A and B are shown apart, each in its own frame.
Chain A
Amino acid sequence: MINAGAFVYSTGGHPAVSRQDPLVRHIRTHDMFRFLFSRLGLLIPTFFGVTLVAFSFIRLLPGDPLDLLAGERGIDPERKAQLMAQMGFDRPLWEQYLDYLLNIFQGDLGTSFASKKPVLDEFLTLFPATAELALCAIIIAVCLGIPAGIFAAVKRGSVADQAIMGTALVGYSMPIFWWGLLLIILFSGILQWTPVSGRISLMFFFPQVTGFMLIDSLLSGEKGAFLSAVRHLILPSVVLATIPLAVIARQTRSAMLEVLGEDYVRTARAKGLPPFRVIGFHALRNALIPVITTIGLQVGVLLAGAILTETIFSWPGIGKWLVDSISRRDYFVVQGGLLLIAGIIMLVNLIVDLLYGLINPRIRHN
């Protein structure tokens, strides 16, 4: 957590007021709650918007699940009508939508047409795999992206700066599918350093407790399981991290450059503070504000990237599940899955907004 006191100085806000003052603390708490409620208030219309988009998106696509199930043979129109009625798809769309909404409030997202299992159960089974992959990817992206961005900013115009930014541009433009396959051929095929795909070696077989393979492999107590899970996670995480890493590195660089030109940094330097303190303490804390927003926005990018990454690495997550369901016109899975993913993105953005508000007083005062 970033110390609010630093921003009294950095923003030039109220240098005369002590942060211990109870009145100031009260105002800050009040501001924070007002900010929280305003953000929460926005979630309600967004939620309804998402339900409407998720519901209509899959129904606007041509084709229906029965035609696809019947394939080249086709299905008798009378029988098709009977089955559509059986599944409730013959009713007016508004009625189906209302049903969908009512069921959401009862925690029922419907049943998959393909697997015949509740959509929520399927999501909960698959989501930990995607979450584990996305978390590892974002950790890689942050841990490499921020230092790279800082380094490039500090060494602005140098060969290192150009090399880092050039690499970031390449990373940002990288076609994920091609990149994943290239890494598999090199590291799994030729060098044989990493396994080709999957989450863990097939010789390990233990109960799923959390769904997070790194944790479950540790809980299993089986020798070598954790290491196997780590080895399986490396390539897909790197592939998924590529674009966010590039974005974070570029964002950090530009934010740092802006901050490094500020008066207070010059003042800190003039005071004779060592460079690492000026950069790592005075400059970075302020430069991180836009970077945090960028990291929050990467959640959507990660989930979109997960679709391709999961397909390449046979990763049993929600990305591939959703794509398969779209091609099968599995209405309930698509509308339920989209809603849950949108919910996660909204939640992450809310947290980022709050965090942003917390570390940047100007935002919550406005």
Chain B
Amino acid sequence: MKMTKALKATLLGVSLATIAATGVSAKTLVYCSEGSPEGFDTALYTAGTTFDASSKPLYNRLVEFKRGTTEVLPGLAESWEVSEDGLEYTFNLRKGVKFHTTSFFTPSRDFNADDVVFSFERQLKKDHAWNQYTAGAAWEYFDGMSMPDLIKEIVKVDDYQVKFVLNRPEAPMLANLAMDFASVLSAEYADKLEADGKMEMLNQEPVGTGPFSFVGYQKDAVIRYNAFADYWGGKQPIDNLIFAITPDAAVRLQKLKAGECHVMPYPAPADIADIQADDSLTMMEQQGLNVGYLAYNTKVAPFDNKNVRKALNHAINKQAILDAVFQGSGQAAKNPIPPTMWSYNDAIEDDAYDPELAKKMLADAGVSDLSMKIWAMPVQRPYNPNARRMAEVMQADFAKVGVDVEIVSYEWGEYLSRSKAEDRDGAVLLGWTGDNGDPDNFLAVLLGCDGVGGSNRAQWCNDEFQALIEKAKTVSDKAERTKLYEEAQVVFKEEAPWGTIAHSVVFMPMSSKVTGYVMDPLGGHWFDGVDIAE
């Protein structure tokens, strides 16, 4: 305890000196973030708020998403080769990449293959000294992306070459390696912490190669970073980056208006028009890489009949939902992947809103006096800002075709858990925000046979669809993959395991003085390349 306090005092003192050294004219960008990071070792967590404060400013990955897109670019790896059988990925690492020098660590060497091997093996190997360095370390994203099954071994070929050997070909592998959990940490820093008996500090005082270095975190209040002068991508236009943690959206807006911060995420839908009308503010917007859906339980009658599902889809008035729930900031969904994602099949025709047709289709299927449950999530999500309201609109829509709906809801953890049951009673409102921009991340996770009883809430396992997505996963040619995913979307539409509802628009208000900010389709908040006009 004493040690921590002394360390904090030193750390803050040094940081003060650093800020003082940069002079009073130092450019400081303040970001009013929506919540506190759980820690700074990104791979331990799954929350976007934690990623924004850790992996994005502090670390790099072997490959990176091109800002504003999901295109994969070189990062800490300058180039890579994939073996013909798709089982070996060899990365040629960038030379001369420095780790941050901070008050708590001074690196003696540049980034090399040891850091890559360390960053992945600690998540992969259960007997690794760093696998359980902190209580309850779950490596949830690494496991969730099936990395333990996928990666056979990680081999250091030499100081600047690393080889990932896989158990099976996996086309989205590169995109997976650009995700937050794949951030590269310093093995030298880890060794030092281990030797000092302070392993838990890896999660509290981070050292990376990213554009900003960590200065200090006052829990639930402020996180401070300095621009890293030796960053391999060049020094940032701003000198300091501050996250002012401000949980309430209305208060964030007041701070932005009062000039107490420059950028804020997640404005309240009701404030959007007000922000757009304010000349001192800029409102950026982007189609979110997400989908909100109603998943029928395809294993329970009468929803095991695709004509019943199709009929109900014809009964949903999506425009009414967009108006009532998304307040105009959404787009009707016809496919299970968003239109900004490659392989989106725009040729598919949506099930038009047609209550009369729906009634007829239900009658043809021999269904009358149908009563069903619609599950409404208790939380707000980008793909569904108000599930209860959405369920109420659907309840009214379904009543028009003679279907009686009971709306049910559970506490969020319970909702997630119960909705997985294969014998679940009712259709579930849920959604998904993409992790890596690969269609497999939507189609396999949400609709693949492996997800039945889990993330596949429709409990839908279709042989034709499954064959298409499995093949697409093993093919490296993007054009061929595109074709396969387009076909899979045709099968999906025909079988209708979901009512596809909407893709939302994400808004990002900021001071008009902020330049160079690029919105991330994956929902992250990045500040490299951002400047403040004088």
Contact = CB atoms under 8 A, between A and B. Distances in A.
Interface in B248-265: 248, 250-251, 254-255, 257-258, 260
A71 B46 contact: yes
B255 A197 contact: yes
A62 B411 contact: yes
B413 A67 contact: yes
Contacts of B257: 189
A70 interface: yes
B30 interface: yes
B138 A69 contact: yes
A284 B332 CA distance: 69
Chain B facing A: main interface SS: mixed
7 contacts: A73-B445, A196-B254, A205-B16, A208-B218, A313-B251, A316-B218, A329-B413
A314 B247 contact: yes
Given A70-B144, A202-B30, A316-B221, A86 B136 contact: yes
A64 to B, nearest CB: 6
B134 interface: yes
A63 B237 CA distance: 45
B224 interface: yes
Given A74-B455, A205-B12, A68 B255 contact: no
B74 to A, nearest CB: 28
B9 A207 contact: yes
A73 B455 contact: yes
B13 interface: yes
Interface stretch (A75-83, A90-98, A140-148, A355-363): A75-83
B15 interface: yes
B140 A70 contact: yes
A121 interface: yes
A76 B454 contact: yes
A166 B45 CA distance: 51
B46 A126 contact: no
B242 A202 contact: yes
Contact of A202 (B135, B138, B244): B244
Contacts of A79: 143
B203 interface: yes
Contacts of A69: 45-46, 138, 140
A73 B251 CA distance: 31
A272 B216 CA distance: 66
Interface stretch (A2-10, A111-119, A247-255): A111-119
B8 interface: yes
A334 to B, nearest CB: 14
A195 B136 CA distance: 39
Contacts of A87: 135-136
A206 interface: yes
Interface residues of B, number: 64
A114 B250 contact: no
Nearest to A125: B219
Contacts of A294: none
Interface residues of A, number: 58
Interface stretch (B64-72, B91-99, B161-169, B414-422): B414-422
A73 B420 CA distance: 10
Given A70-B144, A70-B416, A122 B258 contact: no
Contacts of B136: 83, 86-87, 111, 113, 116
B300 interface: no
A139 B312 CA distance: 61
Interface of B: 1, 4, 8-9, 12-13, 15-16, 19, 28, 30, 35-36, 38-39, 44-46, 132, 134-138, 140, 143-144, 200, 203-204, 216, 218-222, 224, 242, 244-248, 250-251, 254-255, 257-258, 260, 410-414, 416-417, 420, 430-432, 445, 454-455
A61 interface: yes
A208 B251 contact: no
A321 interface: yes
From B12, B132, B136, B246, residue with most partner A Cβ within 10 Å:
B136
Given A67-B414, A206-B12, 5 more contacts: A64-B413, A122-B219, A202-B28, A312-B251, A317-B220
Contact of B135 (A70, A116, A317): A116
Contacts of A188: 254, 258
Contacts of A324: 35-36
Contacts of A11: none
B455 A72 contact: yes
Contacts of A75: 140, 144
Contacts of B9: 207
B267 to A, nearest CB: 15
Given A87-B136, A115-B39, A321-B220, A63 B247 contact: no
Contact of A196 (B134, B135, B138, B260): B260
B221 A314 contact: yes
A293 to B, nearest CB: 33
A66 B247 CA distance: 23
A63 B414 contact: yes
A116 B133 CA distance: 10
Contacts of B430: 72
B434 to A, nearest CB: 11
A74 B459 CA distance: 14
A185 B251 CA distance: 9
Nearest to A86: B136
B413 A68 contact: yes
A75 B142 CA distance: 12
A72 B254 contact: no
A116 B134 contact: yes
A71 B251 contact: no
Nearest to A205: B16
A321 B35 CA distance: 11
Contacts of B244: 198, 202, 314
Nearest to A332: B135
A121 B1 contact: yes
A364 interface: no
Contacts of A185: 254
Given A70-B140, A314-B221, A189 B412 contact: no
A66 B144 CA distance: 12
